[in-house]
Structure 1
Amino acid sequence: MKRPLQLLTVAAATTTLLALGASGASAHVSVDPDTTTAGSYALLTFGVPHGCGESATTKVSIQIPEPITSVTPTVNPGWDVEKVMVTLATPIDDGHGGQLTERVGEIVYTARSPLPDGYRDALVLSTKLPDTVGETLVFPTVQTCQEGESAWVQVAAEGEDPHDLDLPAPVLTVTAAKDEAAHGETETVSDESATVEAAAAPAEPSSTPLVLSWVAVVLGAAGLALGGAAFVRGRRSQG
């Protein structure tokens, strides 16, 4: 009986560790982009976990990294939302013939009713990602609660595992766009393959050669019949 009991104990301990791991992973404020492609328009969903300890969440402030100049926050029925603008040291081209002198530096969501511990919500921002492939975008986020706050602002140093951080900031990395040239080459190869296959495929039988063959057979048979008749007449005349 001791052996089964030991196995049950190990299994229970393993289940507990897995549950704690899952709980820890879901406790972070995280960002989930619908795309990370450079230069694309993306929806960034920020998951807001349970409160600070057991205290209900009252406000979530998301700082916007400098490479992003424009952000459109999605209206959430349970929250009031505000865009906090910051002045640019140097105006930049807005892409429409004008210049930007300020950008969105922070998005602040204030709960109309505090988000209780044990519940979560999702806050969505729409923005255009930078064109630089490989760029890391960090969104330091402060979660304010009825008692205390959680500042999700830590960034892993080079070689450090982000999972080892107590309060990691939401982070995403800009990725390369699909290679249109490679796509075109693929289509060209496909076309060439189709051409080769068409050349290798046997030609469909034509009805013309078949008709000519039957005509030749008939004419040949007629010729043999006439020749045979002439031969018989010749033999009779000799006799």
Structure 2
Amino acid sequence: MLTAHDLRFRGHHADIITPTSFSAAAGEVTLVIHESPETRTALGLILTDRMRPTSGSVDSPRPLRRRSALIDAPDITEPGDELTGRGIVTEAMALTPGMRTLFLNRRAESWMADHGLGELAREPLERIDGAHRLRLLTETALMDEAVDLLVLDSPDRHAPAEEWLPYVAEVAARGVTVVVLLPSAPHDWRGTVVYVGDDGCADQPEPAADTEPQNPTHEEEDRA
């Protein structure tokens, strides 16, 4: 679970993030929408405790920075295009607490094979398609067992949502809290959507057509 309360971030001349409130639950994918890349990245930094908001707060059941990963934020956490898949995994292993650092290249290739990413080991990132790029960066972040909150910054810039959203939903199903920062919501998305500037009212999935009403009217009670 992650809860943002009236988050606001002031730039030099204007608000980069206008007051925004929402909750993101473990096991679910929450889309947070704003057209500005600067706003999305600033929000990602705040939600992972890499930057302080001008006002507002983020509530987390555990220390936020330790449990979170900001995935592929432009100019912040995105890897260099020249890095190979193995290089990215090796670096993640070297930075993961408690991870042995002997024979990292060999262990990285073995780990990649175990996670269905073996064919990417010697490919530079610039030649890896967007869906595999996201899978590679996400799985390496989850290598750290303390991480259970992922904030994905604008994955749509590398591939359309239909190519990676099913995978992101699978990651959330592991009990991970997933927040995806996007310029717009996919038209067929039925999950939670939050717009930067919302005061706490997120769009929720529409109930199925055959869902029974939770609070029947008096007329329905009489018919029963």
TM-score calculated relative to the size of structure 2: 0.21
* Larger strand fraction of residues: 1
TM-score calculated relative to the size of structure 1: 0.20
Say which structure, 1 or 2, has more relative contact order (CA 8 Å, 6+ apart).
Answer: 2
